[in-house]
């Protein structure tokens, strides 16, 4: 799951980016409203975390411009402005959720996961495919009563595919998801991760979970 964090506090931005990455999210970060708007316009994100009091362009203006342009990305406002009128204004402009500072990090993660499930039409965090059960809330993978241990990258690929079930995902999109646009990945690395993932989750008596669409990418049907 890929997030855009628009937050001008460098300390909070670093802390949240680190914590969210450890929680399994890919994160891009911007420090002001104009930069954040540019990221949101040109990137593909599951959720935008948006502060309101930003330099160069305030958060509500960023939100309004995104909605006026038809951008329907989920937006979670994260702000110290906790008056009811301000929360109402943010929601009326098209925000999907509102969390006031200070906040519990665990609550932020729970709200983000709920927004991602809503984005892909899933009420439950548990996804089932060919006898495999992926719980995106607990970040666990099981086949029947057997728990399957995956590396961080293996799990991230599997989660990305199952939450976009039926859609073919290119290697380039998986690189962007895993490395958050840092340019550190390669198609060869994705192929290795998928190969190792398949060895762990596929069994002889069940249809394959992750299928290859040659020349296009991978899909969970």
Element (DSSP H or E) covering residue 207: none
Structure tokens at 195: 């190969």
- Backbone torsion region of residue 206, taken as left when φ is above 0, otherwise alpha when ψ lies between -120 and 50, otherwise beta: beta
Give the domain-ending residue among 119, 143, 161.
Answer: 119
Q: Are residues 102 and 136 in the same domain?
A: no
Q: Tell me which H or E stretch contains 219.
A: strand 217-220
User: Tens of pLDDT along 96-133?
Assistant: 999 998 899 999 999 998 888 887 666 677 888 888 99
For the chain, the distance separating the N- and C-terminal CA atoms, rounded to the nearest angstrom, is 19
Final residue in a domain of this structure, among 119, 149, 172: 119
User: For tokens 């993932």, what's the residue?
Assistant: 197
Contact 219, 213 (CB under 8 A): yes
The separation between CA 13 and the C-alpha centre of its own chain, rounded to angstroms, equals 17
pLDDT at 108: 95
What is the domain-level CATH number for residue 18? 3.40.50.2300
Q: Is the per-residue pLDDT at 182 higher than 90?
A: no
| Per-residue pLDDT tens over the stretch 16-60 | 999 999 888 889 999 999 999 999 999 889 999 999 999 999 999
Do residue 38 and residue 106 come from a single domain? yes
Which pair of structure tokens corresponds to residue 219? 């899909």
Query: How many folded domains does the chain comprise?
Result: 2
Same domain, 115 and 130: no
Give the three-class secondary structure for 158: helix
Kindly report whether the peptide bond that precedes residue 36 is cis, defined as omega within 30 degrees of 0.
no
**178: domain range?**
126-220
pLDDT in tens, 64-85: 999 999 998 999 999 887 778 8
Statement: residue 184 has pLDDT above 70: no
- Residue 8 pLDDT more than 80? yes
CATH code of 207's domain: 1.10.10.10
- 136 and 98 in a common domain: no
């Amino acid at each position: 799951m890929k997030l855009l964090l628009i937050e001008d506090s460098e300390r909070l931005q670093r802390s949240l980016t680190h914590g969210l990455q450890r929680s399994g999210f890919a994160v891009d970060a911007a420090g002001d409203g104009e930069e954040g708007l540019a990221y949101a316009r040109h990137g593909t994100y599951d959720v935008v975390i948006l502060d309101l009091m930003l330099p160069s362009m305030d958060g509500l203006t960023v939100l309004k411009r995104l909605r006026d342009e038809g951008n329907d990305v989920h937006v979670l406002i994260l702000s110290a402005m906790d008056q009811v009128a301000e929360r109402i204004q943010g929601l009326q402009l098209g925000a999907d959720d509102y969390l006031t500072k200070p906040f519990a990090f665990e609550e932020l993660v729970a709200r983000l996961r709920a927004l991602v499930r809503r984005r892909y039409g899933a009420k439950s965090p548990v996804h089932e495919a060919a006898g495999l059960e992926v719980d995106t809330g607990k970040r666990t993978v099981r086949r029947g009563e057997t728990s399957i241990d995956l590396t961080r990258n293996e799990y991230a690929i599997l989660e990305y595919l199952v939450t976009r079930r039926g859609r073919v995902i290119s290697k380039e999109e998986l690189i962007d998801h895993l490395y958050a646009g840092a340019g550190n990945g390669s198609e060869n690395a994705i192929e290795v991760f998928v190969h190792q993932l398949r060895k762990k989750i596929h069994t002889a008596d069940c249809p394959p979970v992750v299928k290859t669409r040659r020349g296009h990418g991978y899909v969970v049907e």
